[in-house]
Structures are given as structure tokens and as C-alpha cells.
Amino acid sequence: MYKFLQKQVTTGQFAAIYGINKRTLMYYDDIGLFKPATVKENGYRYYTYGQSGLFDVIQLLRKLRIPLEEIKNHLTDYTPQTLRTLLDNQNQKLEQEIAELMWLQRVVRNKIDNMEAKLSVASDKIEIVEATAQAIVVSEATSGMSMEQTMKVMVDFAQDCYHSRIYSGYPMGHMLDAPQMQWQGIFNQLSRCFYRVDEKTSEAVNRTYKPAGRYLVTHYKGPWPEMDQAFQRLVDYANGHDLTFMGHAYVESILDEAMATAEDPYYCEVRISVLLE
């Protein structure tokens, strides 16, 4: 067994055992992480099978995404306690990466679902829909703000939602004062912006709800500046059917941000729903 462990192989042969490029072994030698057992006068490096145990440890630590410098320091001053500390720290980092990946997967799945739902949307139709409560997170109030101030609130709100992983893949929505729309014909004064959130997410954030109840709903496809015509259709329908707006109107994009085109940045596809008394 001892003779077997002491058997020398070339850099290429040792690299082939692990399915790696021999340049990796040469780089590890250069930085002092994993040196060959022997270097001949001609400069050729030779490794032994007995070094496989140490190289297995390096490979494992690399798979755990531990930087080479940390691996080198650990192997230089190894104790069971330093290994435990190293693994505990890396376990915490991996848990954070897993949480990040799970959040990104949820975002992707919701975007796919939103895109599939878009395929069945019919524009211009007006209907009354009975809706359940929907968990949302909302920005600070923007009523009375200038356009520049409102845009700053929207950008800050979006960034906060991304960084805290509240964002679930649904496009940003906008809220308007519904009675103001019906009785004063004001369609361009946003009161807040919001994001839908998943129920799994909603318990961990400071969320509120889009109320359950009857909503007057329509869809609009076209330039943002011309959306007022969709609001006016809803107002005319409500007035013609003795319906009264209350609370908020919700403008929810059904055209994902990733589908927006540079050729027509003002084009939108939205669902407009207004809470009824």
C-alpha cells in the first residue's frame, strides 16, 4: 500500500484522474496551495497518489465556494476548530445564496404565469368582477407631489422591494383616488404605487391588501398618455349604470417590464380595476 501511495505521476496524469486541466495544478503550485511531491531538474512536476487526500479536501472546499486564499490559510494553520469555523461561516453564506436562488426562482415563475395570463386578455371589455383580497405592498403617498418627486418615490420603492426580496416578479402597479376620478375627472394623479406579493412573502413584510369586493374592470392597450380614454369609459359606464366608485382604482401592468421595447417605450398593456360601493 505504501508503494502505491508513493507512486509518482506527471502533472497531466494527476489532472486526468480528477478531470481537470493541468494548468489548474500548475496555478495551485504557483500560489503555494498544492505543490507537487517532486520537481525534477528539467522542471517537470510529479505528484503521488498519496497526495489525493489533500487534493480531495481542496476540491471539496472549492465546491463549497470557499476562496483559494482562505483554503490556503486554513491548510497552513489547520486545527479541528479552524475547520469548524470555516465550515460554519460557509454554511451561513450558502444559506443566503439558497434563499437568493429561491427568491429568483419565485420571480421567474411569477413572470411566466403573468405572461401566460396575458395571452387571454381582451381589451376594451368592461365587466364587474367579484374579487378576493390581494396582498400588496405600497409606497409612500404621492398625492400632491411633482412628477420628479413621484418618480423618485417610485424608483426608491422599487429598489427597496428588490433589495429586501419583497418583489415577487409582478410588474409595478399604480393607485388612483377612485371618487376623484368619477366626480372630478382627474385621471393623472397617482396616490401610491404598489407590488403584488405572494402569500408566502406577505407574512414577512409590512403589507396591506387590495380589498375584497366588487370591481369595475377593463383592459387597455396603447400609449400611456392616451390611457385617459380607458378611465373615461369606466366613468361613463359607472354613471350609466348607477355605480359609485370608492377607495382606489388599481392600474396593473400585464406587459412585463422585460417585454417593453425601446422602439415604443410609451406602449403599455394594463388592467384597470375600480372598487365599487
Q: What is the pLDDT of residue 133?
A: 92
- The CATH number of 113-276, from 3.20.80.10, 3.90.1170.50, 3.60.20.10, 3.30.750.200, is 3.20.80.10
- What would the pLDDT profile of 115-142 be if each residue is shown by its tens digit? 776 655 566 789 899 999 998 999 999 8
Q: What predicted TM-score, i.e. pTM, was given to this entire model?
A: 0.71
The verdict on domain 2-78 having CATH code 1.10.1660.10 is yes
- What would the pLDDT profile of 106-115 be if each residue is shown by its tens digit? 888 888 887 7
pLDDT of 260 > 60? The answer is: no
Beta strand segments in the chain, E:
8-10, 38-39, 45-48, 127-131, 134-138, 173-177, 190-196, 208-210, 213-223, 245-253, 267-276
- The more confident residue out of 101 and 78 is 101
Confidence band for 171, pLDDT divided at 50, 70 and 90: confident
Percent share of the chain, pLDDT over 90: 40
Pairing of strands 245-253, 173-177: antiparallel
Give the range among 142-151, 204-213, 237-246 with minimum mean pLDDT. Answer: 204-213
Domain boundaries, the chain: 2-78, 113-276
Do the domains 113-276 and 2-78 match in fold?
A: no
